[in-house]
Amino acid sequence: MNELDLLAAADARALTYTAGVATRRVFPDAGALAGLAAFDEPLPEQGMAAEQTLQLLDERGSAATVVSNGPRYFGFVIGASLPAAAAAERLMLAWDQCASSFDNSPVAATVEATAARWVLEALDLPRQSAVGFGTSATACTLSCLAAARRALLARQGWDFDRDGLIGAPEIKVVVSELVHITVKKALRVLGFGTAKIIYAPVNALGQVDVEKLPVLDDHSILCLQAGEVNTGEFDPFAQLIPKARASGAWVHVDGAFGLWARASALAPLTTGIELADSWTTDAHKWLNTPYDCAMAICRDADALAATMNSDAAYSSASADAQKNLTLEFSRRARGIPVWAALRSLGKQGVAQQVERHCRQAQRVAEGLREAGYEVLNRVVLNQVLFRAASAAQTVAVREALQATGEAWFGGTVWQGRPAMRISVSSWRTQNEDIEALLGLMSELRG
Ligand SMILES: *Cc1c(COP(=O)(O)O)cnc(C)c1O
């Protein structure tokens, strides 16, 4: 098979897969999982046919996917892929750009600059901010926290790039008690030390308690969050951030999915968030782009650019080239699917998508209560946290639901007891899908 025929065959298989996402099992059955044994081959001595390789990947692989790109996946705020974003991604694959700088890809640099401008506008964040399109909220949080530390040390006359950490003034890190694990990971990787992290107590809703905020100073980084993974709650930014910044601290906000509330009628949840120094968000969650698509946003553009700079004699670029704002040197043009998603939705479409998911989450909560479950959160966003009568029943219901293959959501532990969490974040999810889920949940409760 020649290249074009092979790519056409891949496209045909991809189209068949996409056409089936509404009817496939959401989690593969035992037979499909057993079929994965076909991949346990020795590395071939001689190359195998590309066509047969594609066939294996589709026949055994497609069957063993979790259909998070479908309408009835309610785990982890994963989202599906919007058609415009998925289509842009397909074309980008053909281009195979190394989107590090204008010289390597004029089109990527241009489109990503527009995407950056649109993201700041959609999220109503300071327009002078730098936007680095990185692989994940994890990587982007790492970038932002590295910039924060470098800037705080520079204000104290310490040259972090030259002198590193040994002997440097100590930087205090304060995070919410309900901080996301990936923020802790970023801090750990950066060398802050998990035992040195100070936890800000949260109130009954899971928001950082303003009255109990630990003392901050100009050696401090405060990490807040927009959208807690279980409850969807937001920290009270308008009260916390001015206080923190007045003491000279750097404020970072993890808004992996929740920041998108700001692009909708739910924006009041985020009031004051614009006063922070840096923000992280994902496009691959609530904006519904394909994976590896997140943003590090930094009010002081130079702070991020100086931290992430990777210019060399053979490879120099502008300060705002993406390779100088992200961890990657060679990189995909991650901002292009963001641009395509925003262009196809427009400001109104983004708002409507967010608002629809929040309404659907309200309906989920209402239906679960009617079916006799206990809803544990206020459902301010697209997250519903709930449990059945006992811990054992909670686990049993979740496992039974997952086994149906009709829908999928995950479990968690909330205030020491098992709970279940439903996230509504796929553009494909229609009200019928919500009713179908509620029908199943009602049956399972018996
Ligand atoms: C998913 C998530 C992250 C991590 O995002 P990745 O893109 O998966 O690295 C961080 N914080 C919150 C609140 C999240 O939901």
Instruction: For 343-359, write each residue's pLDDT tens digit.
Output: 999 999 999 999 999 99
State the average pLDDT over residues 293-306.
98
Give residue 311's pLDDT.
Answer: 87
Residue nearest to atom 5 of ligand 1 (CA): 137
CA distance linking residue 128 with residue 18, whole number of Å: 39
CA distance linking residue 72 with residue 436, whole number of Å: 9
DSSP per position, 352-405: HHHHHHHHHHHHHHHHHHHTTPEE-S---SSEEEEE-SSHHHHHHHHHHHHHHS
**Distance, CA 228 to ligand 1 centroid (Å)?**
10
3-state helix, strand, coil in the chain (%, to 5): 45, 15, 40
Pocket test for ligand 1, best of 68, 177, 183, 254 (most atoms within 8 A of CB): 254
Pocket test for ligand 1, best of 231, 285, 288, 334 (most atoms within 8 A of CB): 285
The candidate with the shortest Cα–Cα distance to 108, out of 292, 337, 308, 342, is: 337
Give residue 314's pLDDT.
Answer: 84
Count CB atoms within 10 A of the CB of residue 404. Answer: 14
Q: Which residue has the tokens 């993890």?
A: 254
Give residue 372's pLDDT.
Answer: 96
CA distance linking residue 180 with residue 183, whole number of Å: 6
Which atom number of ligand 1 is nearest to the Cα of residue 282?
Answer: 7
- Whether the CA torsion 267, 270, 276, 278 is positive or negative: it is negative
**Distance, CA 229 to ligand 1 centroid (Å)?**
9
State the average pLDDT over residues 408-424.
95
Side-chain-facing half-sphere of 320: CA atoms under 13 Å: 16
**Mean pLDDT for the chain?**
97
Pairing of strands 410-414, 198-200: unpaired
Give residue 172's pLDDT.
Answer: 98
- What's the residue count for the chain? 446
Instruction: For 191-226, write each residue's pLDDT tens digit.
Output: 999 999 999 999 999 999 999 999 999 999 999 999
Percentage of residues in the chain having pLDDT higher than 90: 97
Residue 139: its H or E element: helix 137-155
Contact of 311 with 324, CB cutoff 8 Å = yes
Helix (H, G, I), strand (E, B) or coil at 34: helix
Give residue 200's pLDDT.
Answer: 98
Q: What domains appear along the chain, each with residue ranges and CATH number?
A: 87-341 (3.40.640.10), 348-445 (3.90.1150.10)
Amino acid identity at 99:
A
- Give yes or no for residue 136 CB within 6 A of ligand 1: yes
More confident call, 446 vs 6: 6
Give residue 234's pLDDT.
Answer: 98
For residue 316, is pLDDT > 90?
A: no
Instruction: For 238-289, write each residue's pLDDT tens digit.
Output: 999 999 999 999 999 999 999 999 999 999 999 999 999 999 999 999 999 9
**Distance, CA 280 to ligand 1 centroid (Å)?**
9
- Give yes or no for residue 282 CB within 6 A of ligand 1: yes
CA distance linking residue 328 with residue 324, whole number of Å: 8
Pocket test for ligand 1, best of 138, 273, 293, 425 (most atoms within 8 A of CB): 138
Instruction: For 420-431, write each residue's pLDDT tens digit.
Output: 999 999 999 999
Q: Which residue has the tokens 């195979």?
A: 96
> pTM of whole model > 0.95?
yes
Pairing of strands 220-225, 172-176: parallel
Q: Looking at 121-219, which runs of residues are DSSP E strands?
A: 130-134, 172-176, 198-200
C-alpha separations of 310 from 77, 86, 203, 279, 331 in Å: 33, 30, 42, 22, 13
pLDDT band at 313 (very low <50, low <70, confident <90, very high): confident
State the average pLDDT over residues 359-367.
98
- Give yes or no for residue 182 CB within 6 A of ligand 1: yes
**Distance, CA 54 to ligand 1 centroid (Å)?**
31
Which atom number of ligand 1 is nearest to the Cα of residue 136?
Answer: 7
State the average pLDDT over residues 48-62.
97
pLDDT band at 11 (very low <50, low <70, confident <90, very high): very high
For residue 446, is pLDDT > 80?
A: no
Rama region for 79: left / alpha / beta (φ>0; ψ in -120 to 50; rest): left
Q: Which residue has the tokens 């030390």?
A: 193
Q: Which residue has the tokens 């494909």?
A: 428
The tokens of 171 are what?
A: 């930087």
φ and ψ of 279, to 5 deg: -145, 150
Q: Name every residue whose Cβ is closer than 8 Å to that of residue 58 and which is 6 or more positions away in sequence.
A: 13, 17
CA distance linking residue 385 with residue 36, whole number of Å: 33
